[in-house]
Amino acid sequence: MKFTLFSAFIFGASLSVSAADKPLLAVPGKIIYESKLDTPPGAPWKAAKGKWELVDGALRGSEIPEDKHGAVTRLPNKLPDFIIEYEFKFEGGRATSLSINAAKDHMARIMVTPNLVTIQKDDNDHDGPDKAVVFARFANPLAPGWHKVRMEMVGDTMLGQVDDLTAWGSNDLFKQDRMVPGFTVGGQSVDFRNLSIHEATLNPEWEAVKATLPKPGEKMAPVGPAGGKGAAKGKKKAD
């Protein structure tokens, strides 16, 4: 598979998939892209909506009310099997996500509000028969400060993780081209730092790991009062 390879910005082991991390779905390979996100935003990033700026050494995304759309910035990569890791911090924002697109529409995302973590296959056609499939929704009020996100995709299987909350699911859509990974922000604001994207191969111990994780659909917190206001508003056009 051909894919766009950007020059890696290597800053040491703290930015890489840690050797101390036990493999989950995937085993990391070579770096596709790596950045502390500590410089003013620009190429290769492309901001589609919102305001993106450098604040206190981190990339900050903020929704612009006039856009009537969540803030979005993406890399123009076409990805092979992959592992993506980064850290984020709410600075007043109501929702954020890591989003992967298919060639023509959305593919998958990890959506986070201050009270909910959702890991899902996205609706791939909007007006057609396809619908989003939620693999897990965790009710988990986030403490102030930085939190870690990890997404892995190998073949038809995706794994998502926010801090120690982990879920997985499979769908044929994931075997299509994986395009333009990016961040979304609902409200004002969310900070991002320490992004890495690695090629990946299937962990030979995946079946054993999978047995320790919730089954798809097993963890399904309601998107209601328990989720708080951020959960409902987080759905607002956060592409």
Given a contact cutoff of 8 angstroms between Cβ atoms, the answer to whether 135 and 160 are in contact is yes
Report, in angstroms and rounded to the nearest whole number, the Rg of the chain calculated over CA atoms.
16
Predicted local confidence at residue 237, as pLDDT: 46
Q: Is residue 2 part of a domain?
A: no
For residue 92, give Cα distances in angstroms to 28, 57, 62, 145: 33, 17, 9, 12
Give CA 10 to chain center in angstroms: 21
d(CA 11, CA 181): 21
231 φ/ψ sector (left φ>0, alpha ψ -120 to 50, else beta): alpha
Strand, coil or helix: 67? helix
Given a contact cutoff of 8 angstroms between Cβ atoms, the answer to whether 8 and 31 are in contact is yes
Per the model's pLDDT, the better-predicted residue between 223 and 180 turns out to be 180
Predicted local confidence at residue 93, as pLDDT: 97
Q: Which of 90-99, 138-147, 159-168, 223-232 has the lowest mean pLDDT?
A: 223-232
Q: For residue 16, what pLDDT band results from cuts at 50, 70 and 90?
A: very low
Given a contact cutoff of 8 angstroms between Cβ atoms, the answer to whether 141 and 148 are in contact is no
Strand stretches in the chain, DSSP E? 26-35, 46-49, 51-55, 58-62, 71-74, 78-79, 82-90, 95-101, 106-112, 116-121, 133-139, 147-154, 157-162, 165-170, 178-186, 188-202
CATH number for the domain that contains residue 85: 2.60.120.560
Q: Is residue 16 part of a domain?
A: no
Predicted local confidence at residue 7, as pLDDT: 37
Is pTM beyond 0.85? Reply is yes
Given a contact cutoff of 8 angstroms between Cβ atoms, the answer to whether 36 and 15 are in contact is yes
Give CA 110 to chain center in angstroms: 5
Q: Is residue 87 part of a domain?
A: yes
- Neighbouring C-beta atoms of residue 16, cutoff 10 Å: 18
Predicted local confidence at residue 21, as pLDDT: 74
* Residue corresponding to tokens 């529409």: 105
The token pair that represents 222 in the structure block: 């309601």
Predicted local confidence at residue 62, as pLDDT: 98
Per the model's pLDDT, the better-predicted residue between 62 and 225 turns out to be 62
Predicted local confidence at residue 225, as pLDDT: 54
Report pLDDT digits (tens) over 38-50. 999 999 999 999 9
Predicted local confidence at residue 127, as pLDDT: 78
Q: Is residue 10 part of a domain?
A: no
Q: How many structural domains compose the chain?
A: 1
Residue type, 120: Q
Predicted local confidence at residue 78, as pLDDT: 96
Q: Is residue 119 part of a domain?
A: yes
Q: What domain range is 207 assigned to?
A: 26-233
